[in-house]
Structures are given as structure tokens and as C-alpha cells.
Structure 1
């Protein structure tokens, strides 16, 4: 039996971050209601539209929850503000932490530049799948 309820089986799926550890760390923040925003380069295939729902995968690639995009804006890296950084929910939730962490993240992908365009997405948690367990 699939852990994904039937009404969500047609949704696209993705994992946050660029590896299993980061995927689980960010997923936990989503499930706890701390992380309600994310960003990606404007050219990534997971580009969202407002109202779209997604299955979020954990670090093992297992379906964990469903989120719904509530807002999508495009901003340059340097235009991301403290409110958005706080909603991303990472580290101490400060703009400085966000900038440092995202310089490293996009740098690992070879995509970072100070004026890069980002898709900034706000979302809400719709449902956590009953059988989901975060890796320890």
C-alpha cells in the first residue's frame, strides 16, 4: 500500500536541499511549521505556481508530506529580505545566516552569483503522511 493518499498521487515530488541529510533537516523544519518558504534558481525544474501542491520527499526518497505554494516571487539574491530569510526557517533565521548558507548551497551547485535571480516561494503544510518517520 502506498504511503501517499490517492488524492495526492498525481502530484510532482521533490526533496529539499542537495543531499539526504539536508533533505531530512529541512523537511523536519517544514513538519514543525518553522519552514514556510524556500528558494531555488529560476531555471530549476521544480518551479512552482501559486496554488500548486507538491509531495515532499525525505532523505531516503520516501514521501513525507504535501505542501501547497501560496506565493511565488522572483528576486535577485541581494534583494531577499529578513522576513523571507526568517520564513525559510534555517539556522538562527537571520538574513546573514540565510545569505551565508545559500552562498554555500548555490556555490556547491556551481550556480552562485551575487546578482543571481531566485524563485522565492512561500508555502503551507497541507498534510503529513501518517506512516512518515524522519531518519534519526
Structure 2
């Protein structure tokens, strides 16, 4: 099924008209140390309800900061659509101030310390790749979402 066909099936199932529906694009869950398919499994199971991106990466790539209400078609590793998510909240928080109740929404770690270690490694990798300085107080875009449609 194409992304367009999947989107149309979502619109039909939710009784929405295409001209009134918000479509923000496609999204693939990837992270170092985890395959996209593992991340996707966490999303589909409900264990993962947030994603975290360094603000520097968004700014360097000249992308807009995501905002509440955006709706994305989530693709699997074969670029097949498998669900649709809606951003329910977006916060920009320094890495060293992200609390466990927010970090646990990532769905991958058992405690804040493990999550922080993983995020520091991710931040350093992105900093090396994009050319910014990774710091303990680097601002992180925290996107909280919910799955609103599955195939």
C-alpha cells in the first residue's frame, strides 16, 4: 500500500475530508543502536510515545521545530506505511533537565541514568556529524505523540 492509499484509508476510517485533514509528512523511527523496525515495534506496542532530537540538528538542517497537532504517516524499514501519529505536545528542554517521567516515554530504558547515557551518546554522534558542540545543557526537542491509526 502506498502512503497516499494509507492516508486515504485513514481519512475514510475517521470520516475526514482531505481538504480539512492535517498531513505533516512521513516519519521513520531510527536511532543508533536500534533498528528502525525495533523503534517501530515500540511505537506500535505503545511503549514509545516520545522522540527526542537535538535542537541544533533541526536548526542546522533549516527545518521548522515540530508543533502540537502535526500528523505523520510512519513508515517501516521498507518504506511501507504502518501507522499514523499525532504530536500531542512539543517541549524544548535542556538535556540535563529532562525528567524521568518524560524520558521514559522513549520506551527503551529502565531508568533515567541509562536513558541519559544513551542520549549523550546520540547527542555526541549528531554533534560530530552536524558540527555543533554537545553539552549537558544542549536543548532537546521532546515530541510526545499518540498513535491515531494503524493498518
Normalising TM by the smaller chain, what interval? 0.7 to 0.9
Q: Which 5+ residue runs of structure 2 have no aligned equivalent?
A: 12-20
Which structure shows the bigger proportion of residues in helix conformation?
A: 2
Q: Which 5+ residue runs of structure 1 have no aligned equivalent?
A: 130-136
- How far 1:100 sits from its partner (Å)? 1.1
Matched, 1:97 2:110: no
Distance (Å, rounded) in 2 between the aligned partners of 1:85 and 1:64: 24
How do residues 109-124 of structure 1 correspond to structure 2 at under 5 angstroms?
A: 109=126, 110=128, 112-124=134-146
Change (3 A) 1:63 1:14: same
Instruction: Work out which of the two has the higher radius of gyration on C-alpha atoms and give 1 or 2.
Output: 2
Q: Is the CA contact (8 Å cut-off) linking 2:23 and 2:71 kept in structure 1?
A: no
Runs of 4+ in 1 over 3 A off after TM superposition: 7-11, 18-21
Distance (Å, rounded) in 2 between the aligned partners of 1:97 and 1:88: 12
TM-score of the superposition, structure 1-length normalised?
A: 0.81
**Pairwise CA RMSD of aligned residues?**
2.4
Distance (Å, rounded) in 2 between the aligned partners of 1:73 and 1:117: 10
